[in-house]
Amino acid sequence: MYWFYKKGPKNNLCDVPGVRVGHLTLEDPSRGVHTGITAILPPGDNPYRDKFIAASHRINGFGKPLGLDQVRELGEIESPILLTNTLSIGDACRGLLDYMIDLDPTIGRPTTINPLVLECNDGNINDIRLMALEPGHALEAIQSAREDFDQGSLGAGTGMVCYGLKGGIGSASRVLEVQDKTYTLGALVLANFGSTQDLCILGQKLGPDLVQEETEDQGSIVTILATDLPLDSRQLLRLCKRVQSGIARTGSFSGHGSGEFALAFTSCPNPSIQDPDLNPIFRATVEVVEESILKSLYLNQSKRAYSGKVFQSLQDRARNRGVILPDLATD
């Protein structure tokens, strides 16, 4: 077996109790629109009132995330987390603010809220200059959030490219025992990075067999970690720093133009885990990030970009090249 820890029942972020994920997908091939918004909601109904311990980490700062500075300073989140394309941050933020202001009448009386919107550039497939997303689309993504969700080319992942192939949304989870108690750790990635020749799958360097054209390692990846482990903000930051190890296990070296950010939160308000007990959690973090990236490739379909270029799925490219892919479900 390649994986060390047991996978959660759904093997996605929503295995963490109470966490919900929703997508809004906007597709209009006649206009070259292939984009969307993905919403991650922490447990409960009002994160502004009931804040969550959190941390964030900048692996490579070639990006435009909104709200991470305050997370780093205060160690908490107080809103849902939205993922979208680079030029739609403003509209997504407005929709998120509309949702939260309607939810909580104390916002702006007088304290305000720290909205969280993270992005990747989907301009290889989506005609990003059209800025087709509107604030109402963010509301739809939030309102569609459920305790299970699809992965691949939908929501924020609709127009993303990973390792030169069709990328997007991927997610995985692990169940682990710490201090004689059972906990869950999950990851969700928006994968839009990497060069085909570097791709490694479950330790096998398959990229050279899949290359169609040489590309640079650029694009971006956003990683969201959620857990019910009783961790403090400093410890969550240490998890965020291990995200890079999970990315590297898929072959990437975090190129100059790849904006890479990690955000983690816990649903447990009472930290109690001691640092010497963190090693299993670090290992699980690396696993869920690695598998999430691979699932964003495996659970996908080829897509024609606004330019007419077709970005092949991993499955289609492998089939065309006669490459046998490892089985993520059994390995």
Nearest of 251, 265, 269, 272 to residue 186 by alpha carbon: 265
Q: What letter does residue 274 receive in the DSSP assignment?
A: -
Mean pLDDT check: name the lowest of 185-199, 210-224, 242-256.
210-224
Nearest to 138 by CA among 38, 20, 263, 13: 38
pLDDT-above-70 percentage for the chain: 99
Mean pLDDT of 230-239: 99
Per the CB < 8 A criterion, the answer to whether 214 and 255 are in contact is no
Rounded Cα distance, 211 and 194, in Å:
12
pTM metric for this prediction = 0.98
Residue 219: predicted pLDDT: 85
Beta strand pairing call for 260-266 and 221-227: parallel
Does the pLDDT at position 162 exceed 90? yes
CATH architecture for segment(s) 6-314: 4-Layer Sandwich (3.60)
DSSP codes, 162-213:
ETTEE-EEEEEEEEEEETTEEEEEEEEEEE----GGG-EETTEE-HHHH-SS
Pairing of strands 33-41, 20-28: antiparallel
pLDDT digits (tens, 9 = 90+) for 79-122: 999 999 999 999 999 999 999 999 999 999 999 999 999 999 99
Q: Is residue 281 over pLDDT 70?
A: yes
Confidence of residue 253 (pLDDT cuts 50, 70, 90): very high
If you average pLDDT over residues 17-43, what whole number do you get?
99
Phi, psi of 92 (to 5 degrees): -65, -40
pLDDT digits (tens, 9 = 90+) for 119-153: 999 999 999 999 999 999 999 999 999 999 999 99
Pairing type for strands 161-162 and 168-178 reads unpaired
DSSP H stretches of helix in the chain: 68-74, 89-103, 135-143, 207-210, 233-249, 279-298, 314-321
Which pLDDT band, with edges at 50, 70 and 90, does 331 fall under?
Answer: low
User: What is the C-alpha to C-alpha distance for residues 77 and 54, in angstroms, rounded to an integer?
Assistant: 6
- The model's pLDDT over 43-90, given as tens digits with 9 standing for 90+, comes to 999 999 999 999 999 999 999 999 999 999 999 999 999 999 999 999
319: tokens are: 């089939």
Give the residue-averaged pLDDT of 160-189: 98
Instruction: State the Cα–Cα distance between residues 305 and 282, nearest whole angstrom.
Output: 38
The tally of CA atoms less than 13 A away on the side-chain side of residue 124 is: 25
Average pLDDT value for the chain? 97
* DSSP percent split of the chain into helix, strand, coil, nearest 5: 30, 30, 40
> Is residue 69 within 8 Å of 251, Cβ to Cβ?
no
pLDDT tens string 4-17: 999 999 999 999 99
Q: Mean per-residue pLDDT for 265-279?
A: 97
Confidence band for 167, pLDDT divided at 50, 70 and 90: very high
